[in-house]
Structure 1
């Protein structure tokens, strides 16, 4: 079963959603048969590689909210993240364009380490105040995941994965995705937002049952199929 997840590295709810989905997947009976594909999305593609100002300044300008409102929002999201085992530090977040980070993610995916790099990027941005627009930071994250540093530098400099990132964003637009995280299960079921773990668990069960329906077999005795009236079974009304 395939699960595609559109998300942005600079999205606090995407990290929370990742944790909640992982918890649901961890208890899913068929988890070894689930393929998770990270897809790219940008909440603000207009950001420069390096933005002057804090995350607080940026959101005040972008959302038109007061500084106290944004600060209160930070406190609420930080508390929710903490419940998922995440240690957000909005005061140290470096505001930067996430496109290069998405290019790194596609390179990592091609080498089978996409999930590890996704985790490292989100943690670097929200927990450790690292600049996800800085190429050296990206090279280090890629190298720590097992990628060759020269390949990471080359692909970032030549934008080898630009079309792949743009393709993901185009696909999101065609699906009508206007916010992230957004989960698509088996090209059929969509789940929007960092939903509770229980909802992800139900979605996984439903998608699996739809793609793996139970087929009832008729028992055979002496070469003759036994009808339902001949079957021996117990039910709510007795045996």
Structure 2
């Protein structure tokens, strides 16, 4: 029996294109679900920090942060955010940069590893991204993260203990080290079966095409 296609996704929950890429990947999988021989897929999320030097409590707007971090004029940043908001809408996502609370994401990544250990990584990734981009929740504070963990069915006390002790920080760093080895310099980045790399928030139909191609290669009988 053929194993599932393994998709390893390097992303940051504070990356707008990562949420779009996540949704488009899901759309690509859905598009193949009615195929006579539908690809079977298993997804694992890995940590990547776009701005590891960001303070937990950033005093300013997303425009303020990007203007400073990227050295861009504020009006240009505003246009960039308007564009990504429109692209997000096309993927069925609602971005609210006016209420977004920019923060350091390392704790959110630790929580994703905690969730993975308890079989809830996919639910946690979705909840974190929605909380950040749509609801304006502070995903850098332990209290807020614990509340979000509880919402997806994780034990709040266990989540708090894991975050306070930095139990999963080594796993975050291991993901980041692997990204360096792969030469990943931007996210989202998708590694398929450990040998194919797909960069960026590709359209859903592009993901569907890749999945069908890889599945055909994996299920093709070996030559005698």
Q: TM-score, normalised by structure 2?
A: 0.93
| CA radius of gyration, larger in | 1
* Corresponding position of 1:14: 18
Q: Which residue of 2 aligns with 1:126?
A: 133
Deviation, structure 1 residue 216? 7.7
8 Å CA contact 1:189, 1:207 repeated in 2 = no
Structure with larger RCO (C-alpha < 8 A, sep 6+): 2
CA distance in 2, matches of 1:66, 1:215: 57
Q: Could you give the per-residue CA deviations for residues 29-73 of structure 1, whole angstroms, max 9, x where no partner exists?
A: 466731110111000111111111111100000111111101111
Q: Which residues of structure 1 form unaligned runs of 5+?
A: 218-239
Q: Using the alignment, how far apart are the partners of 2:82 and 2:156 within structure 1?
A: 37
Where structure 2 has 5 or more consecutive residues not aligned to the other structure, the ranges are none
Report what 2:110 is aligned to: 103
- Of 173, 179, 185, the residue aligned with 1:172 is 179
Deviation at 1:146, TM superposition (A): 0.9
Conserved 8 A contact 1:20-1:196: yes
2:75 aligned partner: 68
Change (3 A) 1:37 1:138: same
Q: How many aligned positions are there?
A: 217
In 1, are the aligned partners of 2:7 and 2:42 still within 8 Å (CA)? Answer: yes
Distance in 1 (alpha carbons) for counterparts of 2:204 and 2:31: 10
Q: Residue 50 in 1 paired to residue 54 in 2?
A: no
RMSD of the alignment, in Å? 1.4
* In 1: Cα distance, 2:111 partner to 2:39 partner: 26
Q: Hey, what does 1:4 align to over in structure 2?
A: 8
Deviations 1:156-205 (A, max 9, x none): 00000000000001000100000000001100111000011111111111
Contact 1:181 1:193 in 2 (8 A): yes
Aligned equivalents of 2:95, 2:153: Cα separation in 1: 26
**What's the counterpart of residue 190 of structure 1?**
197
Q: Please state if 1:154 is matched with 2:158.
A: no
Q: 2:28 aligns with which of 15, 24, 48?
A: 24
Superposed CA deviations along residues 88-115 of structure 1, whole A, max 9, x for unmatched, are 0111110100000000000101111101
CA shift digits 1:109-162 (9 cap, x unpaired): 111110111001000110011111011110011011111111000000000000
Shift of residue 84 of structure 1? 1.0
What TM-score, normalized to structure 1?
0.88
